[in-house]
Amino acid sequence: MYEQIASNKRKTYLLIFLTLVFVGGLGFLFAYIIARGSFAASLAGLIIALAISGAMSIASYRYGDRLVLSTSRAQPVTHEQEPRLHNVVEGMAIAAGLPKPSVYVVPERSPNAFATGRDPEHSSIAVTRGLLDMMDRVELEGVVGHEMSHVKDRDILLGTVVATLVGSVVLIAEFMLRWFFWGGMAGRGRDNEGGGQGFALLAIVGLVLAILAPLFAQVIKMSVSRRREYLADSEGVMLTRYPPGLASALRKIADDHTPMQVANNATGHLWLNQPSRVPGADNHWWENLFNTHPPIQDRIRILEEM
Amino acid sequence: MLALWIVLGVVVLLVLWAVFTYNRLVRDRVRTENAWSQIDVQLRRRYDLIPNLIETVKGYAAHEREVFEDVTRARTQAQEATGVENQAKAENEITRSVGKLIAVAENYPELKANQNFLALQEELTGTEDKIAYARQFYNDQVQGYNALIQSFPASLIVAATGGRFAKKEFFDIDEPARGPVEVQF
């Protein structure tokens, strides 16, 4: 467990370092191209880019959890509103010997859950409305136990930084791609001559990001290996001491095919099970690219063998 | 001259080891004490819930006096209990008598539909789960601590410091029933 914590911290620092290098390099390159080879301008570009990515890194460390919670439309709930959920979260926190995380509910019918935060003192657990409606107490404990293990192992720190640093680039790339296709075609008719340079520049940025997207996907996959989901399953069960609870919850999740509105490729790796906007076996290749979770049937099988 | 340095080095290492081990012993003992206070918080929470529960059930089933007295007696005994083992016995008595009270309540459909009763039942179940988890955590800490104080060479420090690192007792209470709660009609 302590190795897992150390490894997560190491990976977080490495990721922040790589972001600095990548964004800094990008800034240098762009300034170099725009200023036609002037070294002073390139240096200025490098410094500006480093400042931006430095601020991004600090923000993702300090406020990443809030960003993840708000993009998932998670809402805080009080003990009076959701007594069962609050009791279960507190129980699991006691079992893990950790402070109680903040409790959130995501208004989605698809059953799922995630944890975020930078350390156990600043952590949150969010579950969807569908999960609350579908699961009995024992199953809910299984799910919350799994999330509590992510909190304990500091998976939440790495996961949140990955979501905000790498994920944000992925989202920008997706946005740029869409904008490039639709905006580019619509614009062609009207202003053939005007807006040329600015548009071309943005198009290049979008294209570069889009080309690099599979690389980013690979980064997400490498930093949040499938192994840690199995690990969180077994550690969660160590907390509840009742494997059938989580197994039964996962079975219900596997049988459910409700799409999730807030699913996106930046936060997908944080969820209990890979969320999807278009559920079913035939996922779009783009979504499969970001598939960070082990097959749910394998997870159920392992739990059943415990 | 060399021999002197070697002796000095060994002494320094021994002192360092003793300080390190002593601190580890203190840390582990504090952990068991913290874990115990977690149990205590939840036990108190349950004591606080019981009078409310009795009042609510009384409103519908005033004549079930025996059950009420049973629960009240168990609660008083638990509050007065001292020592880990006696505490555990008294808590088991509460769990048993409250279980009976809930079972009695099952016979009154109006009571079962009462929002206040349902909320209390949720709190009680939640608190009993938390007691179980706090106990699990406490026992794990005690197991680690007891193993440490008996292991060599840490046991040398334990012996040298007198009764400061005494063996801790496990808190053995009945496990709450797992599996989906069956609703009887």
Residues A18-40: tens digit of each pLDDT = 888 888 887 787 778 777 777 78
Is the confidence at residue A91, as pLDDT, over 90? Answer: yes
| Record: contact B130-A87, CB cut-off 8 A | yes
Per-residue pLDDT band at A9 (split at 50, 70, 90): confident
pLDDT of residue A78: 95
Instruction: Check if A90 contacts B (Cβ < 8 Å).
Output: yes
User: pTM of the full predicted structure?
Assistant: 0.83
Per-residue pLDDT band at A197 (split at 50, 70, 90): low
pLDDT of residue B169: 85
Measured in angstroms, the CA of B11 and the nearest CA of chain A are apart by: 32
Per-residue pLDDT band at A1 (split at 50, 70, 90): low
Nearest-by-Cβ selection for B122 from A83, A90, A138: A83
Residues of A in contact with B38 (CB under 8 A): 94
pLDDT of residue A94: 95
Average pLDDT, chain A: 83
Residues of A in contact with B179 (CB under 8 A): 138, 244
pLDDT of residue B182: 44
Measured in angstroms, the CA of B21 and the nearest CA of chain A are apart by: 20
Per-residue pLDDT of chain B in tens (185 residues, 90 and over written 9): 889 999 999 999 999 999 999 999 999 999 999 999 999 899 999 999 999 888 888 888 888 888 898 899 999 999 888 888 888 888 888 988 888 888 888 888 888 888 888 999 999 999 999 999 999 999 999 999 999 988 888 888 888 888 788 888 888 776 655 544 444 44
Instruction: Check if A94 contacts B (Cβ < 8 Å).
Output: yes
Instruction: Check if A287 contacts B (Cβ < 8 Å).
Output: no
Residue B126 and residue B120 in contact, taking contact as beta carbons nearer than 8 Å: no
| Record: contact A90-B126, CB cut-off 8 A | yes
Residues of B in contact with A137 (CB under 8 A): 125, 180-181
What is the number of other CB atoms lying within 10 angstroms of the CB of residue B114? 18
| Record: contact B126-A84, CB cut-off 8 A | yes
C-alpha closest to that of A157 among A77, A45, A270, A256:
A270
Pick from A61-75, A130-144, A158-172, A177-191: least confident? A177-191
Mean pLDDT of A210-231: 75
Instruction: Check if A92 contacts B (Cβ < 8 Å).
Output: yes
- In terms of pLDDT, which residue wins out, A43 or B138? B138
Please identify which of the residues A108, A139, A147, A174 carries the catalytic annotation: A147
Is the confidence at residue A210, as pLDDT, over 90? Answer: no
| Record: contact A87-B181, CB cut-off 8 A | no
Nearest-by-Cβ selection for A97 from B123, B137, B181: B137
Mean pLDDT of A226-238: 89
| Record: contact A90-B130, CB cut-off 8 A | yes
| Record: contact A87-B119, CB cut-off 8 A | no
- In terms of pLDDT, which residue wins out, A191 or A8? A8
**Coil, strand or helix at A103:** strand
Residues of B in contact with A81 (CB under 8 A): none
What is the number of other CB atoms lying within 10 angstroms of the CB of residue A205? 16
Beta bridge partners of A119: A122
C-alpha closest to that of A128 among A144, A109, A142:
A109
pLDDT of residue A180: 64
Is the confidence at residue A253, as pLDDT, over 50? Answer: yes
Measured in angstroms, the CA of B10 and the nearest CA of chain A are apart by: 31
Tokens (6 digits) for A85: 């959920």
Is the confidence at residue A194, as pLDDT, over 60? Answer: no
pLDDT of residue A145: 96
Residues of B in contact with A136 (CB under 8 A): 180-181
Whether A193 sits among the annotated catalytic residues: the reply is no
Measured in angstroms, the CA of A84 and the nearest CA of chain B are apart by: 7
pLDDT of residue A129: 96
Q: Which residues of A9-44 are buried (b: 16+ CB within 10 A; e: fewer)?
A: eebbeebbeebbebbbebbbebbbeeeeeeeeebee
Mean pLDDT of A111-126: 94
pLDDT of residue A42: 82
Mean pLDDT of A258-265: 81
pLDDT of residue A188: 47
Per-residue pLDDT band at A3 (split at 50, 70, 90): confident
pLDDT of residue A168: 73
Instruction: Check if A1 contacts B (Cβ < 8 Å).
Output: no
pLDDT of residue B138: 93
Query: Phi and psi of A103, rounded to 5°?
Result: -115, 130
